[in-house]
Amino acid sequence: MKAPVLPEPVLPIQPKTMKDFQEDVEKVKSSGDWKAVYDFYLTTFDSFPELNAAFKKDATTSFNTIEDSGINAKFVNAVYDALLNTPQDIQKTVLKGIINSLLREWKGPRTKDDLRAYFILLQNPQFNNTSTYVIYAHLLRQIATLVEADHHFLVHWFKKLSQKRFKQLVERLLQFISLRLFPAKPEEFPPITKCSWWIPSASKVLALLNTANSLAHPPLIPYTDFYNSTLDHIDLMEEYHTWQSFGNSHRFSFCQYPFVISIAAKKIIIQRDSEQQMISIARQSLVDKVSRRQRPDMNMLFLNMKVRRTHLVSDSLDELTRKRADLKKKLKVTFVGEAGLDMGGLTKEWFLLLIRQIFHPDYGMFTYHKDSHCHWFSSFKCDNYSEFRLVGILMGLAVYNSITLDIRFPPCCYKKLLSPPIIPSDQNTPVGICSITTDDLCQIMPELAHGLSELLAYEGNVEEDFYSTFQVFQEEFGIIKSYNLKPGGDKIPVTNQNRKEYVQLYIDFLLNKSIYKQFAAFYYGFHSVCASNALMLLRPEEVEILVCGSPELDMHALQRSTQYDGYAKTDLTIRYFWDVVLGFPLDLQKKLLHFTTGSDRVPVGGMADLNFKISKNETSTNWLPVAHTCFNQLCLPPYKSKKDLKQKLIIGISNSEGFGLE
């Protein structure tokens, strides 16, 4: 996209170099005379042309490119770092200059010098102070309302900022939104009715920064740094319904900017949206029963699964197929021939056993790649892909029933799962197909990805030295089968000129086309449970966290939330236990979590959501600890010494599959 290139106005003469400015600041320490520094700030911030004169690397060059803003970033940083240590009259002078610049009447489109001025002013650390928020809000509105082509320039200039400065910009905007929502001193700001545009303007500028962060490789900051935890305390469902009703039109909703909504808040939106759908279905069932003068049954409020342990997969598939209308209801599991109510433990056991069986290599549905420690879909052709649909349903049910699954899919699986995020109305529209790169392949088959990268970088004659064609071979049940990557591929040699196309088609074949039917069944299974527009709010990484939990462990948080049965938290054995566990390296902490819960990841709500319990096991202290993973429970004998406890605990957690099912 090209913005109209306007002639740049003649700039004022640059008042000082960076060295001159720093010398003036140094002189103040001995003389106490701020006049030279005051004059610099007074002149520089007086207008947009003066800002450009001060900070533009070369006043005679236009710098009309997205690659280079033309601004001396070090000089800008030095001037802003010094500003907060200057007397109040200098700081007020800067703000007055900014006000005058923003109040200037604009005629015609902005020049690149205007964009540079906005870029510089946005970095002003004075905007951390709530007393400057009225000025900051006007600056944000002017930036937010620029045309798309101008935003394009700003995004690429933001991308070139240092990580420190970029993070400061993001944090300043998040704080501005939080304090406008929940002001410590409401009288500091105009009434909300008079400044309803503040938050939409800030959100739009944040969106530019988020885009810049996505374009940077690697990103300047983690995507989670854009989360605004303050939003966890507003009526998120009202925001969601506003977005559902008005989309991205004139009515503002934070759901238009989902990158600021935390994963915990998104989970609440998804679950409540599902509950409302479930209540609607249950209410209709109740009305139907009453109208037919039938007695309502409380079981109609649940997805009741009755399965035999000996036929776990087939029974589960049959039950879920028969009860597909009930998938959004609360799950309850009964094992045939076994007494007991499902208080959560049986449900978790059902998930653990099913996942263990389906992902076993002998089952043939998924291939485990040792290099990347993840599973991928088997490309073997079969008559029925319903079991892949079952895995998708399991993942959807896990999200709605707050179960963390011990599944290791690569990140591109979740990217495919959101392609598209809502089931298309046209049945012929392909699903689960997304753009794939060598980076995606590297997450599954690193050796193959490395080989293809070597092919792309090869400096010799590819056709003569590799002797490859646009054809690939795969082993299926002991038989080697060939597939053309394009029509007549077996007759087309791979050359230096077409090797990029070959690599792209090969990766697309491996991760999209060869497993299309398997993944489509998996996609439809997941979306049959998670059929919600709320999925449009999620990043692929967030779907993974909802299904599998977060890899970030906080054992201190686990200690604070642990419950005890037979022990008190002050007992010597418990004190030994936490001394040992908190001193464990990360890999042993993960093994402990896996041993006791069936997964080494943490639910979205944090360690407290695990409901972790340590029970006293009145057995010999020669015994190892025992785990009931279905209840996240560790049974610990009353070991007499820390050394003995540590030794037994390490043996126990290191020599088990992690499923202490009983």
Residues annotated catalytic, as ranges: 630
Question: What is the torsional sign of CA 546, 552, 556, 562?
Answer: positive
Which two three-digit tokens encode residue 157? 């200039």
Which two three-digit tokens encode residue 34? 């701020």
Give dist(CA 292, CA 150) in Å, integer: 64
E runs forming strands in 421-522: 471-476, 479-484
Beta carbons of 643 and 662 less than 8 angstroms apart: no
Residue with tokens 């009860």: 323
322-326-327-328 Cα dihedral, nearest 10 degrees: 170
DSSP H stretches of helix in 84-132: 88-103, 112-122
Beta carbons of 113 and 48 less than 8 angstroms apart: yes
Which two three-digit tokens encode residue 655? 């020599």
Of 75, 37, 36, nearest to 58 by C-alpha is 75
Which two three-digit tokens encode residue 421? 């995020």
Burial 163-182 (b: 16+ CB within 10 A, else e): eeebbbbbebbbbbbbbbbe
Q: At what angle do helices 148-159 and 112-122 cross, to 10 degrees?
A: 50
Q: How many CB atoms lie within 10 A of CB 566?
A: 13
Of 51, 259, 80, 71, nearest to 170 by C-alpha is 259
DSSP H stretches of helix in 512-631: 516-529, 540-548, 555-561, 572-583, 586-597
Indicate the pairing of strand 374-377 with strand 366-369: antiparallel
Beta carbons of 133 and 126 less than 8 angstroms apart: no
Beta carbons of 399 and 529 less than 8 angstroms apart: yes
Which two three-digit tokens encode residue 634? 């560790």
Burial 608-638 (b: 16+ CB within 10 A, else e): ebbebbbbbbeeeeeebbbbbbbbbbbbbbb
Residue 479: phi and psi, rounded to 5, are -110, 130
Q: At what angle do helices 386-400 and 312-322 cross, to 10 degrees?
A: 70
Q: What is the 3-state secondary structure (H, E, C) of 36-96?
A: HHHHHHHHHCCCHHHHHHHHECCCCCCCCCCCCCCECHHHHHHHHHHHCCCCHHHHHHHHH
Which two three-digit tokens encode residue 100? 């005058």
For residue 464, give the H/E element and its range.
helix 462-466
DSSP string, 353-371: HHHHHHTSGGG-SEEEETT
Interacting residues of 538 by C-beta distance below 8 A, sequence separation 6+: 258, 266, 418, 421, 546
